[in-house]
Each structure stands twice: as structure tokens, then as C-alpha cells.
Amino acid sequence: MKSLLAGRDVCVVMPTGGGKSLCYQLPAAMTPGRTAIVVSPLIALMQDQVAQLEQMGIPAAVLNSSQNVGEQSAILRDAKTGKYRLLYLSPERLARAEALSWLRDVPISYFVIDEAHCISEWGHEFRPEYRQLHSLRAHFPDQPIAAFTASATRQVRHDIVEQLKLRDADKYIASFQRPNLRYHVKACDSKTQGRLLLKAVKNYSGSNIIIYAPTINRVGETVLFLQDNGIAALGYHARMDNATRRVNQERWMSDEVPVLVGTIAFGLGINKAAVRAVIHLSLPKSIEQYYQEAGRAGRDGEPADCLLLWQKRDVGLLTYFIEQLKDPQEKARSWQRYRIIRRFVESDGCRNRQICVHFGETPKWTSCGACDICAGELAWLRVDPPPAKKRKDPATKWVATAKRVVEERAVFEMPRTAPIARVTEELREHMRQWRRNMSKELSVPAFIIMHDTTLDELCRVRPTTLIELRSVSGFGDRKVEMYGEQILAALKSFGPRTRGATP
């Protein structure tokens, strides 16, 4: 933030949930009359960020193809007056000659390139349109440029600096270790994978879960499989129309449905803190992809599990896609990524350490004490043996079952911190329902109204006045003004607070 306010170029690598958005949004909010231009790859992501900023009273806008000519003209007109602190654009729009022309009339504070790894051919999500951003330095030589990403190796970081022509950039590289995440990798076959998936989902019953499937067909199959087993789940993939994807994502975000099954199309910019597990049903194409997707778990700092249930046949699927590539260099890079992810799942080395080393970090520790290599396999991940043909004594069977249940509960029960444990589930669900209703009424995502961590704190404190509500983390003057009276009414309708007792 200090670097941006001082007008310097920056290159920032921070894990998912590490605070990247805050790093460029707060300096922008502190610079009246000037606008930070934010380049972001997804329309939905940009719209959500703008909605969040507006809820906090920070003037922001997004310019995209879904708007009509009148809306776009109004935004361009206001931008030239310095009305917005942040203006979001796609890389495709910024590459247009007319965009570079009207931007010269905007009082720009600095440029922000979000998901900056997309500019590098060595990155796992290379997008050619990002390459056009190199022209920003030539057209706006006096404006600072800030690059942000969650997953960039040393080689990709160097490429980002070179492509964007950053000048003596201040570099901020956070540790790639997420100490609250527990990585567990298990090879399985088609029969055992389904059983393990059910065990996993039931183990996190009542919590938010993301399941990544390798293909659109597998997404549908997995959703039906879970529903047939009494588990509420929704799908998300690129062939769905935008409205369906949006509805499914919002139902999951607002805790209406706990499990979302998606392809890699799901997750970029997802701002949900209380995800207790991310489960992969196939071998990812790279460590970077896996780190980015698994990193959507535990953004609230609470313990969370990242499960990779892969099959030998995944190797065939990955190699098939690699062989379809026409560009020889891209094919070579893809083979390199494949070899690295294959070593990751087959190695007996600490998972956390492997990830850190891959991204160019050399930890002083050798064991994280949390992954399957360092802490051992989760008890419920052990595959149950097939039923014996010989008939067993009923008493013996009962004892074995009881023993297994006790082991799973005693040894691997998901720990929770004291504040969250003290929040009554009834009150949480009551306020979640209020949030869902408000979300539908205002047509904005539920998390924009109130984050999960804020909701937990609200239920713990149970304020009875606006002054008490203002002391709850996540409630500024703007949100208290917008929702304060309604929140107090919703809390009051649940029942009186017992003085001197923690709910």
C-alpha cells in the first residue's frame, strides 16, 4: 500500500485470501479525485467487487459488454470527472485503441493487473489478450503499474515484470504455506473413489464444500450421485447459461446448498471464507492450478482439508489433452507441469514443503505436521474392506463398527476455535436466512451483505443497539446505515439475549 501511494511499480504474490484486493483498493479509496484502473479477467468477478465497494460507500464502476450503450457512455463521462476511485475493465477492452484514447482523459492514480500470472506463457492460465497489456507502459509512462497474483513461480514472476515493463518494482512475495490447510492425497479406483467421496462429504456435514471434477459430464454425474445419497449439491460448468451458473453459485454462497461441484470454471475470485473442504476428483494439470483451487478452503483461518482423490486413468486424460496442443512450446511446458504434479502425488515428501519449493520458497522446516505424509492418513479415508463372504458373529461386527466410529470422532474430529464453537447453530441459521432474504430482495450476492466471519461474530456478540453493532468486525458506518435497524430487528425476533451469558 505504501509503495502504491508513493507512486511505485509493484509485483505482489499472496495466497488466496491473503488480502490482495485490499492492497490496491485501500490506497485507491485514500486518493480522492483519481481513479485506479483495475484489469480483471471475469465479468462476474468485477461486478461482485464493484458491488462490495459500493456497499462500503466507495465509488466504483465496471465497464463491460453486458451494458448498453447508454450505461457505458455514462460511466465514461463520469470517469473523466474523477468520480470513481476504482474502474474495472477486461484485458480485451483495454487492448482496444479507443480505450487507450479515452483513458488519457481520466485522472488515473495507477493501473492494477489482477490475476497477473495470465500474462505469462509459463503460467498455468496463460491468456493471449493479457499480452497486450505491455502497451500500458508506452501509453502511460508516468502511471504506476501493480501486478497481483496468488500463484506464480519464480519464472512466471520474472515474466510478469518483463512483460509489463515494471520499473524497479517493489516485490512482495508472501509465504506459500497455508498452515491451516491439511493436504491429503489418495490414489483410488472408480469404485473406491465414490465411497471415499461420500465419506468425505458426510464428514463435513453442515459445512461448505467445493468438489472439482475434471469434465462437464463428471460434474453432472457427481451431482446426481450425491443427490441419490441424500446430499444436497449443485453443479457449475461452462456449458451452463450465465443465469443458471449465477443462481447456483449464489445458492451455495448463501449456505442454501452446502456442496458445489464444478469444473475449473468455478472459483476465480470466489470470496467465501468458511469453506471447510476442497475435494479434487482427478489429477490437476499443474501444481499452480491445484494450489489455487485448494486454496479456496479455509480463508477464514480455521482448519480445512484439501483432498485429492486421483485415479491412474487421470494420467490418460491429462496426456490426451496435452497431445491435442499444436504449439510445440506450449506442449513442452504442459509436459513439464504434468511431470511435476505427478511427482507431487506420488512423492513421500511433505506436501506443504513440495508446494513451497515449487514456488521458489525454501522453508527452514522439513515437516508441516499437517499433511498426510507428516501427520498420517485421515482415519475415515481408509478404504473399508469388501464385505466378507463368511457370515460374521453379529456381536463382533457391532464391536468393529463402534470402534471405527469412535476412532474417527476422537482422533480426526474437525477442531474449531472457541468463538465459533460458542455460536448457536439456531441463531446462525436464523441470520443466514435473513441474509438470504435480503440478498434476493436487493439482487446482490449474500456475501456482499455480510461475510461468514462477520455473521459468526454478529451471532456471538448479539448487539442490541446500533453502537454495539458498529463494534462488530465488518460493520462500518455505511453498512450500519444500510442494514443496522433490520439486523437488530432480526436478532430481536430470535429471542432475548441472556445477559452475562455467551451464546
Q: CATH no. for residue 486? A: 1.10.150.80
Q: Please check whether residue 387 lies inside any domain of the structure.
A: no
Judge whether 143 and 67 are in contact, CB under 8 Å: no
d(CA 462, CA 501): 11
Long-range contact pairs involving 158-162 (C-beta distance under 8 Å, separation at least 24) = 159/119, 159/120, 159/121, 159/122, 159/123, 160/11, 160/116, 160/117, 160/119, 160/120, 161/11
- Is the predicted pLDDT of residue 64 greater than 80, yes or no? yes
Task: Check residue 269 and give its pLDDT.
Answer: 58
Smallest CA-to-CA distance from 8 within 117, 166, 152 is with 166
Within a 13 Å sphere around the CA of 165, how many CA atoms are in the beta-carbon half? 13
Q: How far is CA 155 from CA 119, 151, 234, in A?
A: 12, 11, 37
Q: Please check whether residue 163 lies inside any domain of the structure.
A: yes
Q: Please check whether residue 413 lies inside any domain of the structure.
A: no
405 pLDDT tier (thresholds 50, 70, 90): very low
- Is the predicted pLDDT of residue 25 greater than 80, yes or no? yes
What does 402-424 look like in DSSP terms, one character per residue? Answer: HHHHHHHHHHH-----HHHHTS-
Q: Which of 115, 146, 173 is the last residue of a domain?
A: 173
Judge whether 248 and 240 are in contact, CB under 8 Å: yes
Q: Are residues 274 and 358 in the same domain?
A: yes
d(CA 1, CA 8): 10
- Contacting residues for 156 by C-beta, under 8 A, at least 6 apart: 117, 120, 122, 123, 149
Q: Which of 138, 154, 173 is the last residue of a domain?
A: 173
Give Cα 242 distance to the centre of its chain. 19
- Is the predicted pLDDT of residue 252 greater than 70, yes or no? yes
Identify the H or E element spanning 37: strand 35-39
Q: Please check whether residue 25 lies inside any domain of the structure.
A: yes
Q: Which of 15-19, 124-128, 362-366 has the largest mean confidence?
A: 362-366
380 pLDDT tier (thresholds 50, 70, 90): confident
Within a 13 Å sphere around the CA of 181, how many CA atoms are in the beta-carbon half? 34
Q: Please check whether residue 389 lies inside any domain of the structure.
A: no
Q: Which of 94-108, 112-126, 339-353 has the largest mean confidence?
A: 339-353
Q: What is the CATH number of the domain that holds 25?
A: 3.40.50.300
Give the sign of the dihedral formed by CA 345, CA 350, CA 352, CA 358. negative
40-63 confidence digits (pLDDT tens): 988 878 888 898 899 888 999 999
Q: Are residues 327 and 376 in the same domain?
A: yes
Cell numbers given for 320? 490426451
- Is the predicted pLDDT of residue 417 greater than 90, yes or no? no
For the ranges 223-237, 253-267, 385-399, 417-431, the lowest mean pLDDT is seen at 385-399
d(CA 73, CA 359): 43
Q: Are residues 287 and 157 in the same domain?
A: no
Cα 275–279–281 angle (5° rounding)?
Answer: 155
d(CA 336, CA 318): 12
Q: Are residues 231 and 294 in the same domain?
A: yes
Name the one residue in this structure whose C-alpha cell is 504442459.
Answer: 334
Smallest CA-to-CA distance from 336 within 325, 347, 322, 353 is with 322
Judge whether 15 and 178 are in contact, CB under 8 Å: yes
Please state the rounded mean pLDDT for residues 412-425: 48
Integer Rg of the chain from CA: 24
Q: Which of 324, 353, 381 is the last residue of a domain?
A: 381
Q: Please check whether residue 296 lies inside any domain of the structure.
A: yes
d(CA 305, CA 285): 20
* Mean pLDDT of all residues belonging to the chain: 86
Domain range spanning residue 7?
2-173
Q: Which pairing describes strands 10-13 and 35-39: parallel, antiparallel, or unpaired?
A: unpaired
Identify the H or E element spanning 11: strand 10-13
Q: Are residues 449 and 426 in the same domain?
A: yes
Q: Are residues 372 and 429 in the same domain?
A: no
Judge whether 278 and 212 are in contact, CB under 8 Å: yes
404 pLDDT tier (thresholds 50, 70, 90): very low
Q: Are residues 53 and 139 in the same domain?
A: yes
Judge whether 194 and 225 are in contact, CB under 8 Å: yes
Query: What single DSSP character describes residue 380?
Result: G
Three-state DSSP string of 310-337: ECCHHHHHHHHHHHCCCCHHHHHHHHHH
- Is the predicted pLDDT of residue 420 greater than 50, yes or no? no
Q: Are residues 219 and 362 in the same domain?
A: yes
470-480 confidence digits (pLDDT tens): 999 889 889 99
Q: Are residues 129 and 243 in the same domain?
A: no
Smallest CA-to-CA distance from 280 within 291, 271, 269 is with 291
pLDDT over 90 for what percent of the chain? 59
Q: pTM for the whole thing? A: 0.81
Three-state DSSP string of 85-148: CEEEECHHHHCCHHHHHHHCCCCEEEEEECCHHHHCCCCCCCCHHHHHHHHHHHHCCCCCEEEE
Q: Are residues 31 and 119 in the same domain?
A: yes
What does 168-199 look like in DSSP terms, one character per residue? Answer: S-EEEE--S--TTEEEEEEE--HHHHHHHHHH
Q: Please check whether residue 407 lies inside any domain of the structure.
A: no
Q: Please check whether residue 188 lies inside any domain of the structure.
A: yes
Q: Are residues 165 and 194 in the same domain?
A: no
Judge whether 236 and 261 are in contact, CB under 8 Å: yes
- Contacting residues for 49 by C-beta, under 8 A, at least 6 apart: 21, 38, 40, 60, 62, 88, 269
The number of domains in the chain is 3
Q: Are residues 152 and 206 in the same domain?
A: no
